[in-house]
Structure 1
Amino acid sequence: MLTKSNILSLSVNVISIAQAVEHIITLAVKKSAAYVCVSNVHMCMEAFDDISFQHIINNADLVVADGRPIYWAQKILGHKQAQQVRGQDLMTELCAYSADKKLNIGLYGGSCDKVLTKVIHELKQQFPNIRITYYFSPPFPELAESNAAKKSGINAELSRDTDQQLNVTVIDNINNANVDILFVGIGCPKQERWMAENSVKTSCVMLGVGAAFDFIAREKKHAPKWMQQSGLEWFYRLLAEPKRLAGRYLKQNPRFVYHFLKQLLNKSIQ
């Protein structure tokens, strides 16, 4: 049984990258329908604010500490063996092992076909024996959760029917491609909701990797190692994408610190 730590309303496994890889490979070999979440402050606060999303994360087969603050929180809560397991590092390790285990890899996500093509090229360069049997970059209307809400009457119905039919086709194609591990990169919380809804329709392990596709395709740059290790990766990304990320980081990071301090205070009183 894997150890878990409770950080606000999120239940996060205390695990190393080697243990995470072994666990996921075991699930994939067994053809288990499963999904894995990589947790950071954004995900933690989304779960804190939305009980339905909280259930999705806490019902995952594995939740790893992707963000440095989540890893630090585990350490502060007394889990001395805790390690940070970054989503892209986990993806890289799984791709390496998949070739040895003859497992099929699938890719679902990316901002466009061009990005996904670059991801496939980079992965094949790094892992010549990798078996990528499925890839798809979904159109934005399928991913926009409020899309149908913006329409009315028959247009909304047609939009929902189209989205549902596309999703049925996606799942059929994943199954026909005999995918063992599916990397899902459509951003939090969309990718976690999508995995929870669709994992039971497949026999593969789904892993939500957020912006990993963009980093692999070199559309985005990683923060320097010293910033990653000092917990400032969010600040580097904020400077790189201020319009997209300012609202998230400037709102959620202080809230996370406040509520985690409350958790520690309550724990010390008990």
Structure 2
Amino acid sequence: MTQVQLLNVNINNVAMSDLLDKLQGGGLVVTPNVDHLMKLQRDSDFYGVYQEAEYRVCDSKILMYVSRFLGTPIIEKISGSDLFPAFYTYYRNDRSIKIFLLGAEDGIAEIARRNINFKVGRNIIIDTYSPPFGFEKDQEECEKILRLINSSNATVLAIGVGAPKQEMWVAKHRKYLRSVKIFLAIGATIDFEAGHIKRCPKWMSEVGLEWLYRLWCEPKRLWKRYILDALPFIYLIFKQRLKIYKNPWSKVKRN
């Protein structure tokens, strides 16, 4: 599988159909976008998780434009909100695929479960849990979540609690999940599947304006992410184009 380097991330240059087929072998899928790339300049632990993920796929039309600017075009945008429905549709008749949904507000994941199972025609989502705020710092809560997932016999964990929390939680705990082979970090996708949050219009997503739609919907939460990171990101991309960008964690030794 070929890769495209954007700053300090090597993104898998893969089509959705090929990714879905390869996931039969298991692995963690992360979906880099501009926000992730900027976090990866500041957070060495998050960078370490990204290095260990089996699949890093492009979650942004902006990154596709950037890859063309750098002369190494990415062939397809695969956002978490597109990957997840494609995944459960692709594996709808594979009885070994049993998904646990972790994330969203209380009750939202259950609505998503009912919606998805109705569309698929079987109970492909076998259980859900909406963790409380700050769960990742509570050892007892994390142990409870591990017990819930293990007792469900799920083979897939779809986690949507925001980045970098979701990726780092999986990296820390995946070894304790006995049956789970596939890990999908899917952000707000559970809310989309439940109809709790409306997805961006398709035409806006296709031209790279999904960020503008989300900013308009949630300005207080997202303005720093989309406005304050924009200029530093552009600056770093020009440095890469000029071949003077340096990975801030290139000399960090990891265990």
> Does TM, scored on the shorter chain, surpass 0.5?
yes
- For 1:199 and 1:253, how far apart are their aligned partners in 2? 33
1:137 aligns with 2:130: yes
- Contact 2:64–2:74 (CA<8 Å) still a contact in 1? no
After TM superposition, the score normalised by the length of structure 1 is 0.84
Q: 1:106 aligns with which of 95, 100, 108?
A: 100
> Residues 5 and 141 from structure 1, CA distance in 2 versus in 1: closer, same or farther, beyond 3 angstroms?
same
Secondary structure of 1:58's aligned partner: helix
Partner of 1:26: 25
Q: 2:83 aligns with which of 70, 78, 90?
A: 90
1:58 is aligned, of 47, 51, 76, to 51
Aligned 8 A contact 2:167 2:185 in 1: yes
* 1:180 counterpart residue number: 155
The match for 2:145 is 170
Counting only pairs closer than 5 Å after superposition, residues 141-156 of structure 1 correspond to structure 2 as 141-143=134-136
Q: 1:155 maps to which residue?
A: none
Corresponding residue number in structure 2 for 1:153: none
Which of residues 199, 210, 216 is equivalent to 1:233? 210
* Inter-partner Cα distance in structure 2 for 1:261 and 1:60: 27
Q: Equivalents in 2 of 1:141, 1:46: separation in Å?
A: 19
Cα distance between partner residues in 2 of 1:174 and 1:78: 43
1:263 matched to 2:253? The reply is: no
Q: How many pairs are equivalent?
A: 242
Give the Å deviation of 1:93. 1.4
For residues 69 and 130 of structure 1, the distance between their equivalents in structure 2, rounded to whole angstroms, comes to: 36
Match of 2:11 in 1: 12
The alpha-carbon deviation at position 80 of structure 1 amounts to: 4.2
Q: Which amino acid aligns with 2:216?
A: L
Residue identity (%): 29
The partner residue of 2:183 within 192, 206, 209 is 206
C-alpha displacement of 1:73: 2.7
1:31 counterpart residue number: none
Distance 1:188 1:130 in 2: 28
Asked whether the 8 Å contact 2:101–2:129 carries over to 1, the reply is yes
Please state how far the C-alpha of 1:230 moved relative to its aligned partner.
1.5
RMSD over aligned CA atoms reads: 1.8
Structure 1 unpaired stretches of 5+: 28-33, 146-162
Deviations 1:3-54, CA, capped at 9 Å, x for gaps: 1111111121111111111111232xxxxxx321011111111011112211
Aligned-pair CA distance for 1:81: 5.7
**Can you give the 5+ residue segments of structure 2 that lack an aligned partner in the other structure?**
245-255
- For 1:176 and 1:75, the matched residues in 2 are separated by 46
Q: Helix, strand or coil: the match of 2:99?
A: strand
**Using a 3 Å threshold, how does the CA distance of structure 1 residues 225 and 252 change in structure 2: closer, same or farther?**
same
Among residues 36, 60, 63, which one is paired with 1:67 in the alignment? 60
Residue 160 of structure 1: aligned partner: none
CA-CA distance at 1:131 after TM superposition = 2.1
Contact 2:99 2:156 in 1 (8 A): yes
**Which 10-residue stretch deviates more, 8-17 or 80-89?**
80-89
1:216-255 equivalences under 5 Å are 216-255=193-232
Alignment TM-score, normalising by the size of structure 2: 0.89
